[in-house]
Amino acid sequence: MFDLPSIRVGRAFGIPVEINASWIVIFALVAFSLSTGVFPSIAAAQGAPWWLFLIVGSLTALLFFASILAHELCHSLVARASGGHVERITLFLFGGVAQIDEEPGTPRKEFLMASAGPAMSFVLSGLCFGGFVAAATYSAPWWIWAPLQYLAGINLLVAVFNLLPGFPLDGGRVLRSVLWGITGDLLKATLWASRAGQFIGWSMAVGAVLGVLRGRVDLIWFGVIGWFIASLAGNAYRQQAFKSRIEGVLVGQVMSASPEYVDGDLSLEQLANEYFLGRRHSRYPVLHNGSIVGIVTLPDLKTVDRPDWAFVRAIDVAHTDLSALVVAADATVESVVERLAGDVPGMLLVASSGRLAGVITRSDVLHLVETR
Counting the structural domains of the chain, the total is: 2
Q: Where are the alpha helices (DSSP H) in the chain?
A: 23-33, 50-81, 107-137, 142-162, 170-183, 186-213, 220-246, 251-254, 268-270, 298-301, 314-317, 322-325, 333-341, 362-371
Specify the CATH number for the domain of residue 321: 3.10.580.10
Q: Are residues 10 and 133 in the same domain?
A: yes
Q: How far apart are CA 162 and CA 149, in angstroms?
A: 20
- Decide if 193 is inside a domain: no
Select the highest-mean-pLDDT range: 37-51, 176-190, 211-225, 238-252: 176-190
- Decide if 281 is inside a domain: yes
Q: Are residues 158 and 307 in the same domain?
A: no
- Decide if 367 is inside a domain: yes
349: β partners: 326, 359
Q: Which residue has the higher pLDDT, 149 or 361?
A: 149
90: β partners: 18, 97
Q: Are residues 150 and 255 in the same domain?
A: no
Is residue 72 annotated as a catalytic residue, yes or no? Answer: yes
- Exactly one of 18, 72, 103, 370 is catalytic; name it: 72
Taking 90 as the threshold, does the pLDDT of residue 367 lie above it? no
* CB-based contact 230:254 (threshold 8 Å): no
Q: Where are the alpha helices (DSSP H) in 9-49?
A: 23-33
The pLDDT mean for the chain works out to: 90
Give phi and psi for 139, each to the nearest 5. 55, 40
- Decide if 54 is inside a domain: yes
Q: Are residues 123 and 260 in the same domain?
A: no
Domain that holds residue 105: 6-163
Would you state the pLDDT for residue 2?
55
What's this model's pTM, rounded to 2 decimal places?
0.79
- Decide if 186 is inside a domain: no
**Final residue of a structural domain among 128, 145, 163:** 163
CA nearest to 364, candidates 347, 351, 352: 347
Residue 263, classed as helix, strand or coil, is strand
361: β partners: 347
Q: Average of pLDDT values for 121-135?
A: 97
**Final residue of a structural domain among 116, 133, 163:** 163
Q: Are residues 29 and 132 in the same domain?
A: yes
Distances (CA, A) of 309 to 106, 150, 304, 316, 357: 56, 68, 7, 11, 29
Query: Quick one: pLDDT band at residue 343, thresholds 50, 70, 90?
Result: low
The torsion defined by the Cα of 323, 329, 333 and 339, in degrees rounded to 10, comes to 10
* CB-based contact 116:25 (threshold 8 Å): no
Q: How far apart are CA 98 and CA 69, in angstroms?
A: 9
Q: How far apart are CA 42 and CA 37, in angstroms?
A: 9
Q: Are residues 26 and 158 in the same domain?
A: yes
For 289-300, the pLDDT digits (tens) are 888 888 998 888
Q: Are residues 158 and 257 in the same domain?
A: no
Query: Quick one: pLDDT band at residue 45, thresholds 50, 70, 90?
Result: confident
For 243-275, the pLDDT digits (tens) are 888 888 999 898 988 888 999 999 999 999 888
Q: Are residues 44 and 142 in the same domain?
A: yes
- Decide if 238 is inside a domain: no
**Final residue of a structural domain among 163, 191, 226:** 163
Residues 6+ apart with CB under 8 A from 289: none
Distance between the two ends of the chain, CA-based, in angstroms?
31
- Decide if 195 is inside a domain: no
Q: How many residues does the chain have?
A: 372
Q: Are residues 35 and 159 in the same domain?
A: yes
- Decide if 274 is inside a domain: yes
Q: Are residues 157 and 12 in the same domain?
A: yes
